Amino acid sequence: MSASAMPPAAPGPRGDGHAGWVIDVRDLTKRYGDKVVVDKLAMQVGRGEIFGFLGPNGSGKTTSIRMMCGLLTPDGGSGTCLGYDILRESAQIKRRVGYMTQKFSYWDDLSIRENLDFVARVYGMPKRREAVDRALEELGLASRAQQLAGSLSGGWKQRLALAACLLHEPQLLLLDEPTAGVDPKARRDFWAQLHQLAARGISVLVSTHYMDEAERCHKLAYIAYGKLLAQGTAGEVVASQKLVTWSVLGEQLSALSDQLRGAPGVEQTVVFGSALHVTGHDEAALEATLRRVAGARHRLERIDTSLEDVFIHMMSRADDNMRAGKEAGR
């Protein structure tokens, strides 16, 4: 099972001097050919923290995660993971980290117990039976221990992958889109599990595209085109963008959205169910436009800018910057 491709149990993290960060990297850079896919990334994850890693497809999340745990050598930058140098001490890091890859795999024709036992065996874990029993118990898998992995639903497969990551009692979990394609109930259970682990002092770096999951993280980072655009608590990330948002209720929101696009003060319009969210930086210009264009036929309400509004805004700004950069480079 590649989900836990990490060697067996190891003693705790190196005694500190690192301000308690389990991940502390700066200027992390990776190039493929002449394309910079991670660009001077700086990130700090605290002990016992659930840290969400967000960004559009291809923004560099997986590449960053692999550099942070010593699986991929950066072209530039430095840092520590669990107090160990990511460039020189990757073997130490690997022994203490549980990594669930984006496309984790397991053996369909082995049972849950056999899959876990196989992982434990591959890495020569001492007291294999105890470790497997503990993982089964902890993840609530014991009742299905004999079931073939191939016959499990998506949510149970996810749980099996998490159990495999936890077998060697890592202090840090790196989870790369662990709940992609899993139903809401199973995702909620998975997150309850993550919070229990965090409460025990296990740190979690988790990449996701789901907004409800982002809101469950203690801290967040958002990257686009390899560049970190924001980092902090959800509240801090929202506040950092200094955006003003109005909700517009009424008829024909799609036509209204077309009308508003490009008007003074309007930087973004997004339909959320029966409301149109209109966002911008220039408070006065935005309000004036809305009163002029939407005033009579629609109900206007100033609302708090949501995390999703902010992410959409950062993503489209990053797109614009890339395009401007490319045109300037021609």
Ligand X SMILES: Nc1ncnc2c1ncn2[C@@H]1O[C@H](COP(=O)(O)OP(=O)(O)OP(=O)(O)O)[C@@H](O)[C@H]1O
Q: Which residues bind Mg ion (CB under 5 A)?
A: 61-62, 102
d(CA 20, CA 306): 30
Q: Is 55 in the site for ligand X (CB under 6 A)?
A: yes
Residue 227, token pair as written in the block: 């560049």
Residue 83's binding partner among Mg ion, ligand X, none (Cβ under 5 to 8 angstroms by kind) is none
- Comparison of 207 and 257: residue with beta carbon closer to ligand X: 207
Which of 44, 62, 101, 257 binds ligand X (CB under 6 A)? It is 62
Q: Among 208, 227, 226, 180, which residue's Cα sits nearest to residue 50? A: 208
Q: Minimal distance in Å, beta carbon 55 to ligand X?
A: 5
Site for ligand X in 101-140 (CB under 6 A): 102
Place of tokens 């960053």: 64
- Told to check if 220 binds ligand X by CB under 6 A, we report no
Among 233, 302, 245, residue whose Cα is nearest residue 277: 245
Return the one option of Mg ion, ligand X, none that residue 265 interacts with (CB less than 5 to 8 A, by type): none
58 binds ligand X (CB under 6 A): yes
Binding of ligand X by 179 (CB under 6 A): no
For strand 76-81 and strand 21-32, is the pairing parallel, antiparallel, or unpaired?
Answer: antiparallel
**Residue 60's binding partner out of ligand X, Mg ion, none, with CB under 5 to 8 Å set by partner kind:** ligand X
Rule CB under 6 A: say whether 63 interacts with ligand X. Answer: yes
Q: Does 61 bind ligand X (CB under 6 A)?
A: yes
Q: Cβ 310 to Mg ion, closest distance in Å?
A: 21
Q: Which amino acid is at 56?
A: P
Q: Please identify which residue in 59, 101, 257, 269 interacts with ligand X, judged by CB under 6 A.
A: 59
DSSP code for 148: B
The Cα–Cα gap between 144 and 156 comes to 9
Identity of the residue numbered 141:
L
Quote the longest CA-to-CA distance of the chain: 73
Residue 55 interaction partner, one of ligand X, Mg ion, none, beta carbon < 5-8 Å per kind: ligand X
Cβ closest to ligand X, residue 177 vs residue 309: 177
The residue among 60 and 280 lying less far from ligand X, judged by its C-beta, is 60
The listed partner (ligand X, Mg ion, none) that binds 59, CB under 5 to 8 Å by sort, is: ligand X
d(CA 29, CA 183): 35
Distances (CA, A) of 179 to 30, 104, 141, 212, 280: 26, 11, 17, 12, 32
Nearer to ligand X, 55 or 83 (CB): 55
- DSSP H or E run through 61: helix 61-68
**Between 120 and 223, CB nearer to ligand X:** 223
Nearest to 204 by CA among 320, 97, 294, 298: 97
CB-nearer residue toward ligand X: 92 or 207: 207
In the complex with ligand X, the residue whose CB is nearer, 136 or 204, is 204
Tell me, what amino acid is at 238?
Answer: V
Q: State the minimum distance, in angstroms, from the CB of residue 256 to Mg ion.
A: 36
CA dihedral sign, ordered 159, 167, 176, 3: negative
Position of tokens 């024709």? 109
The SS3 assignment for 186 reads: helix
Q: From the list ligand X, Mg ion, none, which binds 275 (C-beta under 5 to 8 Å, kind-based)?
A: none
Task: Using CB under 6 A, list all residues that contact ligand X.
Answer: 32, 37, 55, 57-63, 102
